[in-house]
Structure 1
Amino acid sequence: MAFSLPEDVQTRLSIVDKMWYNLRLDRTDINDINAVITTNQEKIINFDFDVIICGGTLGIFLATTLQKKGYKIAVIEKGILQGREQEWNISRHELHCLLELELLTEQELEEIIFTEYNPARVSFYQGYELWVKDVLNVGVSPKLLIAKIQEKFLQSGGIVLENTAFNNAIVQENGVIVNTDKQSLNTRLLIDSMGHFSPIIKQHRQGQKPEGVCLVVGSCGKGFTNNETGDLIASFTPIQNQCQYFWEAFPAKDGRTTYLFSYVDAHPDRISLTEFMAEYLRLLPEYQQIELESIDFQRFLFGFFPAYRQSPVNLTWDRILAVGDSSGSQSPVSFGGFGSMMRHLSRLTNSIESALQCDSLTSKDLALIQPYQPNISVTWLFQKTMSVGIDTQANPNQINDLMSGVFAVMDKLGDDVLKPFLQDVVQFSGLSKTLPLVNPTLVLPLLPQVGLPILLDWLKHYANLGIYSGLYPLAKTLQPLTKNLTPQQKYYFDRWRDMWQYGAGFK
Structure 2
Amino acid sequence: MLATLRLLAAATAAFSPTYTPRARPTMMAATLTEQLMAKLPPNVQTGGAGGATTYDALLRLDDAWSRLRAGELPPAKQVVFDEPTAAVETAEYDLVVAGGNIGILLATALVLRGLRVAVLEGGDLRGREQDWNASRKEVMELVEAGVLSLEELDEVIGIEFNPVRCGFQGGADVWLNDVLNVGVRPEALVRCARARFEAAGGVVLERTPLSTVRVRPGAAVLTAADGREVRARLLIDCMGQRSPIVAQVRGGAPPDGVCVVVGSCADGYPKELNTFGDAFPASASATQRTTYLFTYMGLEPERPSVMDIMEDYWRLLPRYQGVDLDDLTPERVLFGLFTSYKDSPLPVQFDRVMQIGDAGGLQSPLSFGGFGAITRHIGRLSDAVESALAADALSGGLAAAAAVL
| Category of TM-score, reference length = shorter chain | 0.7 to 0.9
Deviations along 1:37-63, one digit per CA (max 9) or x if unpaired, are: 112121333222111111111110111
From 252, 256, 263, the equivalent of 2:289 is 256
2:238 paired residue number: 193
Matches within 5 A, 1:11-30: 11-28=56-73
The residue identity in structure 2 corresponding to 1:67 is V
Once the two structures are TM-superposed, the CA of residue 214 in structure 1 deviates from its matched residue by 1.6
From 302, 306, 310, the equivalent of 2:343 is 310
1:113 paired residue number: 157
From 286, 290, 295, the equivalent of 2:319 is 286
1:430 paired residue number: none
From 126, 134, 139, the equivalent of 1:82 is 126
Structure 2 residue 293 is the aligned partner of structure 1 residue 299: no
CA distance in 2, matches of 1:208, 1:78: 24
Provide structure 2 residue ranges, at least 5 long, that are not aligned to the other structure.
Answer: 1-29, 39-52
From 50, 53, 67, the equivalent of 2:111 is 67
Matches within 5 A, 1:469-480: none
CA distance in 2, matches of 1:352, 1:103: 16
CA distance in 2, matches of 1:173, 1:113: 44
1:140 paired residue number: 184
The answer on whether the counterparts of 2:269 and 2:323 sit within 8 Å (CA) in structure 1 is yes
CA distance in 1, matches of 2:66, 2:159: 36
> SS of the residue aligned with 2:397?
helix
> SS of the residue aligned with 2:316?
helix
Q: Say what the alpha-carbon RMSD is for the aligned residues.
A: 1.8
* TM-score normalised by L of structure 1: 0.67
1:6 paired residue number: 37
CA distance in 1, matches of 2:99, 2:332: 24
Deviates more, 1:273-282 or 1:128-137: 128-137
What is the aligned residue count?
355
- Shift of the 325–70 alpha-carbon distance from structure 1 to 2, 3 Å rule, reads same
Deviations along 1:279-330, one digit per CA (max 9) or x if unpaired, are: 1011111111111111110000001111222222222111001112111224
Matches within 5 A, 1:29-428: 32-40=75-83, 41-182=85-226, 183-232=228-277, 248-254=278-284, 255-330=288-363, 336-371=369-404
The answer on whether the counterparts of 1:214 and 1:335 sit within 8 Å (CA) in structure 2 is no
- Shift of the 174–136 alpha-carbon distance from structure 1 to 2, 3 Å rule, reads same
Once the two structures are TM-superposed, the CA of residue 332 in structure 1 deviates from its matched residue by 8.1
> SS of the residue aligned with 1:364?
helix
Runs of 4+ in 1 over 6 A off after TM superposition: none
The answer on whether the counterparts of 2:258 and 2:339 sit within 8 Å (CA) in structure 1 is yes
The answer on whether the counterparts of 1:305 and 1:335 sit within 8 Å (CA) in structure 2 is no
Once the two structures are TM-superposed, the CA of residue 339 in structure 1 deviates from its matched residue by 1.2
Which gives a bigger RCO, structure 1 or 2 (Cα 8 Å, sep 6+)? Answer: 2
The residue identity in structure 2 corresponding to 1:203 is Q
Deviations along 1:126-146, one digit per CA (max 9) or x if unpaired, are: 333222221101100011001
The residue identity in structure 2 corresponding to 1:39 is D
* TM-score normalised by L of structure 2: 0.84
The answer on whether the counterparts of 1:167 and 1:180 sit within 8 Å (CA) in structure 2 is yes
Deviates more, 1:348-357 or 1:337-346: 337-346
Once the two structures are TM-superposed, the CA of residue 67 in structure 1 deviates from its matched residue by 0.8
> SS of the residue aligned with 2:56?
helix
Aligned residues: percent identity?
A: 40
CA distance in 1, matches of 2:163, 2:173: 13
CA distance in 1, matches of 2:348, 2:384: 16
CA distance in 1, matches of 2:283, 2:123: 25
CA distance in 2, matches of 1:139, 1:94: 12
The answer on whether the counterparts of 2:162 and 2:178 sit within 8 Å (CA) in structure 1 is yes
- Shift of the 156–93 alpha-carbon distance from structure 1 to 2, 3 Å rule, reads same
Deviations along 1:448-481, one digit per CA (max 9) or x if unpaired, are: xxxxxxxxxxxxxxxxxxxxxxxxxxxxxxxxxx
CA distance in 1, matches of 2:341, 2:377: 19
1:429 paired residue number: none
Q: Which has the larger radius of gyration?
A: 1
